[in-house]
Amino acid sequence: MKKFIIFSISLLLGFSLFVWIYQQFEFKEIFFRFKFLNWRQVTVLFLLGFYRLFAWVMRWQLALKSIGYKGLSYRMLFGSRLAEMSLSYLTPGIRYGGEVIRIFVLKKKIGMPVSQGITSVVIDRLIDITAFGVFAFLGVFILFFQKKFFIAFLFFLIGFSTLFLIYLILQLLKSNKKMDRLIKFFHLDKLNQGNNLAESFEIIKNGTLNFFKNYPKETFQGIILSCSTFLAGAIQISVFVKFLGEYCSFFNGILVKILNLFATLVPIPAGLGVFEAANILGFQISGLSPETGFSLTLMLRFLDLILVLAGVLIILYYFTHRFFQLLTTNLKNKNN
The pLDDT tens digits for 50-73 are 998 899 999 999 999 988 888 888
Q: Which of the residue ranges 142-156, 160-174, 297-311 has the most confident prediction, judged by mean pLDDT?
A: 142-156
**Single-letter amino acid code for the residue at 96:** Y
| CB neighbours of residue 331 within 10 Å | 10
> Phi/psi at 249 (nearest 5 deg)?
-65, 160
The pLDDT of residue 98 = 80
Query: What DSSP string runs through 111-177?
Result: ---HHHHHHHHHHHHHHHHHHHHHHHHHHHHHHHHTT-HHHHHHHHHHHHHHHHHHHHHHHHHH-HH
The pLDDT of residue 87 = 84
| CA nearest neighbour of 268 among 8, 83, 85, 3 | 8
Q: Tell how far CA 92 is from the center of its chain.
A: 11
Q: What is the pTM of this model?
A: 0.86
The 10s digit of each residue's pLDDT in 212-269 is: 999 999 999 999 999 999 999 999 999 999 988 888 899 999 999 999 888 888 878 7
Q: What ranges do the domains of the chain cover?
A: 2-335
| CA nearest neighbour of 84 among 44, 31, 121 | 121
Q: Which of 17-26, 165-174, 300-309 has the lowest mean pLDDT?
A: 17-26
Q: How far apart are CA 222 and CA 265, in angstroms?
A: 20
Q: How far apart are CA 9 and CA 14, in angstroms?
A: 9
Q: Please tell me the total number of residues recorded for the chain in this structure.
A: 336
Phi-psi label, residue 37: left if phi above 0, alpha if psi -120 to 50, beta otherwise:
beta
**Single-letter amino acid code for the residue at 78:** F
Q: How far apart are CA 323 and CA 169, in angstroms?
A: 40
- The answer to whether the beta carbons of residues 104 and 190 sit under 8 Å apart is no
| CA nearest neighbour of 112 among 83, 147, 167, 72 | 72
**Single-letter amino acid code for the residue at 230:** F
Q: Is the pLDDT of residue 191 over 90?
A: no
Q: Is the pLDDT of residue 186 over 50?
A: no
The pLDDT of residue 311 = 84
* Percent of the residues in the chain that have a pLDDT greater than 70, as a whole number: 86
Q: For residue 287, give the 3-state DSSP assignment.
A: coil
